[in-house]
Amino acid sequence: MNYLLTGACGFIGSHTFDEFVKRGHNIVVIDKLTYAGNINNIDTSKCKFYQIDINETEKLKKIVKIHKINKIINFAAETHVDNSIINASTFVKTNISGVLSLLNICKTQNIELIQISTDEVYGPAEYIPFDETTPLNPKNPYAATKAAADHLILSYVNTYNIEYKIIRPSNNFGTRQHHEKFIPKIIKNIRENKKIPIYGDGNQKRQWTYVNNTALAIYEIITKCNSGIYNIGDDNIMTNNNIVKNILSLLNCNNDLVTYVNDRAGHDKMYWITSKKINSYIDVVFTDFNIAIKETIDNL
């Protein structure tokens, strides 16, 4: 089996790359190497690497043919909600047009597409966790582009009968995550003795999953599960305030660095998904949050 990983120099992509490398798979990586991608996140001696954009369809098609690719795993995406609020155009190009480029290759070359989506496509949760049948209700431009890509994939499944998997992880944390994201920013600012900005009252709730667990679950879903949609999320739900307090405590700091700023436009109060579906196919073990966050701090 020959795998093409797009965006594998990024956060979740590079950790999933490691899972495939451990098992000796044939891997080709393409990555545009934007600000969020780092070539040092992967061992290029273990793969064939090309620096191109997923919208470069003809170049991609040649790579797919040369390496006899069987499955494309798409991690390539713009992901930072704040940036999508400022300017959504790049998100539309990468997250929608880029997926269309991959779909057209998969259609003509009879290749399975595995799309790494997000729990944010479901929108804010209230009283019960969302499962894979929940209607999509994205509330920010980033989430809307990811939801649009999911719909586009399902339309190709219905129209052209392509093989597919859509994987929707919850909020991830761990090593190699760009410092614009919440947890790396907290750690970076503490170490630099800078203020830690928290949106609104800090009581927004997120479901936090260690990236090592997500990467392994993605690998297991790809290699063991049938076509379909799969959520990945630990049961660990914490407010932004609790995350900050936890990290401050581990770094032996007080709350003096915390500052509350105007809330983000359209800020969802809570994301919550259930992983019951994948638990019926594979055995997902989630690392205790306190252990995972300490490993993250020590290695970030």
> What is the pTM for the complete model shown?
0.97
Fold of 178-206+236-274+281-299: UDP-galactose 4-epimerase; domain 1 (3.90.25)
Cβ within 8 Å of residue 286, ≥6 positions away: 209, 210, 213, 234, 235, 236
Q: With contact defined as beta carbons under 8 Å apart, do 224 and 230 qualify?
A: no
Per-residue pLDDT of the chain (300 residues; tens, 9 = 90+): 999 999 999 999 999 999 999 999 999 999 999 999 999 999 999 999 999 999 999 999 999 999 999 999 999 999 999 999 999 999 999 999 999 999 999 999 999 999 999 999 999 998 899 999 999 999 999 999 999 999 999 999 999 999 999 999 999 999 999 999 999 999 999 999 999 999 999 999 999 999 999 999 999 999 999 999 999 999 999 999 999 999 999 999 988 899 999 999 999 999 999 999 998 889 888 999 999 999 999 998
CATH architecture of 2-172+208-232: 3-Layer(aba) Sandwich (3.40)
Could you list the active site residues?
119-120, 142
**Span(s) in the chain for CATH 3.90.25.10:** 178-206+236-274+281-299
Q: With contact defined as beta carbons under 8 Å apart, do 201 and 139 qualify?
A: no
**Span(s) in the chain for CATH 3.40.50.720:** 2-172+208-232
Inter-axis angle of helices 57-66 and 98-109, to 10 degrees? 40
Rounded Cα–Cα distance for residues 80 and 68 (Å): 33
Cβ within 8 Å of residue 68, ≥6 positions away: 2
